Chain A
């Protein structure tokens, strides 16, 4: 890639797998459990975090030399709160039903550990371009896990994807339901998300032994 140097590319690619914010750093679990019962909500959440983290990292990076270190957390909070309110208002204006499904969890992006973590760990010490890439990379890593979990939970729990019935109609017993298949109610409740995330972590670590901690 001519646009990105190798080091820049790793800023985006690392958080997708080997340094994934959810499966490796175990951050942002709360929202991953709460909103992944539907694929649509997962995608919207992923895009929202992508927006907040991408822009937020750039803003913090630009301000990094003029923020007094004693009040840097407050400045970070103001930046992230501003961006989250923008997201919240946009959702309310254009996707009201969805914003009701996501309820407080859009607002809670403010407290998402991934965002404050990247502000503190990366944006305060790097230039805007690198910070932007880092923000995009981490948000994508978060989003990918959200979408994987959302895919399995909606498919197995409700038999739909993005609200479309892909397995047939459970009430009139068409498609797969004609054979006696039934939706798995367990996948709808949040503990199922914990188990799906756990299985992803399991698969990832068995593929890449370097990720296994010694104890």
Chain B
């Protein structure tokens, strides 16, 4: 058989065997298996149990993120032009939102974030895979897509690059790579950005393209988020309607605004059985409960309009889910199978506390208008502890059941006694 008759796929397989045991093998394999199913089967690992491997799992999450990414590209432009020219009075989706002008801003501003996030992150992964001599793991495929969606639009690219290096190395690789990390890498990257460069991550100027450059000039534009208005007790000043919040025509981090598309993505993940519905549902319940408590405090007259917390506390409890990153965090971050709880009962506790604490931080700490990422990181740390006690509780319950169980005598009484003595 001449080389000519070999397909592209076959040639790659031959190349693979050629590169086997060479230093660059992990890098080659990563690209190879990204394009084609490998010709050898998996020898070990937990993913043997299921029909789809880790790469398919990751691809499914990315598919759930694509609509959010596309929407965010249009929204970037929409927010930018609306801040300059004023919001359109009679809003038409085709004429005011899905326009080339809007999309162009998205291409210029959002696409570089995606490219830098993937480029730098995968470079770090490749370097680690080559040094340590293991295969490149797929974990970064999702992280790389999440990162550009949870940062403000004008984040300088070098800052993003520095944060990605930090997040991948300190958040993941030092623990042993994908599957071994304690903290969600994407949120580690955001937390690093938040604490390292706070002026780029909070305030009223970072959420809309060019708002920073124009600050202090005659062309100054404001891009305050809904939460920002509420935190300053200026709830009456913003003009966004409930449907604006739900469909996402509001300023915010790149991809967090559209609760509608996030909801669709969440349903897709639930029906493809990639993400846990228990975590999502319990996190929603948790945030509603906390919101309700705050509403009740306001209704009881304990907090009045003079209080600094009034704006956020009087905010309708269910509307917390529509603004800020709460919905995005619940669907795409809290459900991370590596850093979340593994047991079913643990997932309920873990999710509930994420929602509960997110709204609590949001209301009580004006310095962190967005508490979601802190709440999820905190619960990431506690997830193994929750699992530990859930499993321990289960063992206790079963032992009790065993002790109470009566073993019916079959052949002889002495045999039954023996079994009972052994098991108890």
Show the binding face of A for B, using Cβ within 8 Å: 180-182, 184-187, 189, 195, 198, 202
Q: Could you list some 13 contacts between A and B, CB below 8 A?
A: A180-B156, A182-B159, A182-B197, A184-B162, A185-B195, A185-B196, A185-B198, A186-B192, A186-B195, A186-B196, A189-B195, A195-B170, A198-B174
Say if the beta carbon of B100 comes within 8 Å of chain A.
no
CA distance A185 to B192 in the complex (A): 9
CB-CB nearest in chain A for B169: A199
**In the bound complex, what is the Cα–Cα distance between A189 and B198 (angstroms)?**
13
| B198 proximity list for chain A (CB < 8 A) | 185
Please give, as numbers and ranges, the residues of chain A lying within 8 Å of B195 by CB-CB distance.
Answer: 185-186, 189
Question: CB < 8 Å: which of B156, B174, B196 contacts A184?
Answer: B196
The closest CB in chain B to the CB of A189 belongs to B195
Q: How far is the CB of B141 from chain A (nearest CB, A)?
A: 26
The 9 closest A-B pairs by CB, nearest first: A186-B196, A186-B195, A184-B196, A185-B196, A185-B198, A182-B197, A180-B156, A185-B195, A195-B170
Across the interface, which residues of B come within 8 angstroms of A182, CB to CB? 159, 197, 199-200
Q: Are B170 and A180 in contact (CB under 8 A)?
A: no
B158 at interface, CB cutoff 8 A: yes
Complexed CA–CA distance, A130 and B318 (Å): 71
A185 proximity list for chain B (CB < 8 A):
195-198
Residue of A nearest to B192 (CB): A186
Chain A residues with CB under 8 Å of B196's CB are 184-187
Q: Which A residue sits closest to B159, measured CB to CB?
A: A182
By the criterion CB–CB under 8 Å, are B170 and A184 in contact?
A: no
A195 to B192, CA, bound (A): 12
Find out whether the CB atom of B174 lies under 8 angstroms from the CB atom of A180. Answer: no
Chain B nearest Cβ from A39, distance in angstroms: 19
A180, B196: Cα distance in complex, Å: 15
A residues within 8 A CB of B200?
182
Interface on chain A toward B: helix, strand, loop, or mixed SS?
helix
Q: Are A184 and B197 in contact (CB under 8 A)?
A: yes
A186 to B192, CA, bound (A): 7
Chain B, 182-199, CB within 8 A of any chain A CB? 192, 195-199
Using CB atoms, name the residue of chain A closest to B195: A186
Interface contact A202-B174, CB-CB below 8 Å = yes
CB-contact partner of B158 in A180, A198, A202, under 8 A: A180
With a CB–CB cut-off of 8 A, which chain B residues contact A198?
Answer: 174
CA distance A67 to B198 in the complex (A): 55
Q: Mark B84-116, 1 if CB is under 8 A from A, else 0.
A: 000000000000000000000000000000000
Complex CA distance for A187 and B196, rounded to whole angstroms:
7
**Complex Cα gap A195–B191 (Å):** 14
| Inter-chain contacts of B199 with A (CB < 8 A) | 182
Q: Which chain B residues border A187 with CB–CB below 8 Å? A: 196
- Smallest Cβ-Cβ distance to B170: which chain A residue: A195
What is the CA–CA distance of A53 and B198 in the complex, to the nearest angstrom?
41
- Return A191 CB to nearest CB of chain B, in Å: 8
User: B197 to chain A: which residues have CB within 8 Å?
Assistant: 182, 184-185
B259 to chain A, nearest CB (A): 31
CA distance A83 to B182 in the complex (A): 43
Cβ of A149 to closest chain B Cβ, rounded Å: 15
Additional 16 contacts, C-beta under 8 A, given A182-B159, A182-B200, A186-B192: A180-B156, A180-B158, A181-B158, A184-B162, A184-B196, A184-B197, A185-B195, A185-B196, A185-B197, A185-B198, A186-B195, A186-B196, A187-B196, A189-B195, A195-B170, A198-B174
CB of A136 to closest CB in B, whole Å: 33
Min distance, Cβ B188 to any Cβ of chain A, angstroms: 11
Could you tell me the distance between the alpha carbons of A4 and B192 in the complex, rounded to whole angstroms? Answer: 48
Which partner residue on chain A sits nearest B191 by CB separation?
Answer: A186
Closest CB in chain A relative to B133 CB, distance in Å: 14
Chain B, 105-158, CB within 8 A of any chain A CB: 156, 158
Q: How far is the CB of A179 from chain B (nearest CB, A)?
A: 9
Chain A residues within 8 Å of B192, by CB: 186
| A207 CB, nearest partner CB in chain B, Å | 14
Instruction: Please name all residues of chain A whose beta carbon is closer than 8 Å to the beta carbon of B174 when the two chains form the complex.
Output: 198, 202
The listed residue with most A CB atoms (<10 A of its CB), out of B196, B199, B200, is B196
Cβ of B89 to closest chain A Cβ, rounded Å: 38
Roughly how many angstroms separate A186 CA and B196 CA in the complex, as a whole number?
4
Complex Cα spacing A185 to B174, Å:
23
A166 to B200, CA, bound (A): 23
Expressed in whole angstroms, the minimum distance between the Cβ of A156 and any Cβ of chain B is: 9
Chain B neighbourhood of A186, CB < 8 A: 192, 195-196
Proximity string of chain B (59-77) to chain A, C-beta cutoff 8 Å, 1 when within and 0 when not: 0000000000000000000
In whole angstroms, how far apart are the Cα atoms of A185 and B159 in the complex?
Answer: 12
Contacts of A202 in B (CB 8 A): 174
Q: With CB as the reference atom, state the residue of chain A lying closest to B162.
A: A184
State how many angstroms separate the Cβ of B294 from the closest Cβ of chain A.
29
Least Cβ–Cβ distance between A176 and chain B, in angstroms: 12
Which residue of chain B has its CB nearest to the CB of A202? B174
Inter-chain CA distance A202–B192, complex, in Å, is: 20
Which chain B residues border A189 with CB–CB below 8 Å?
195
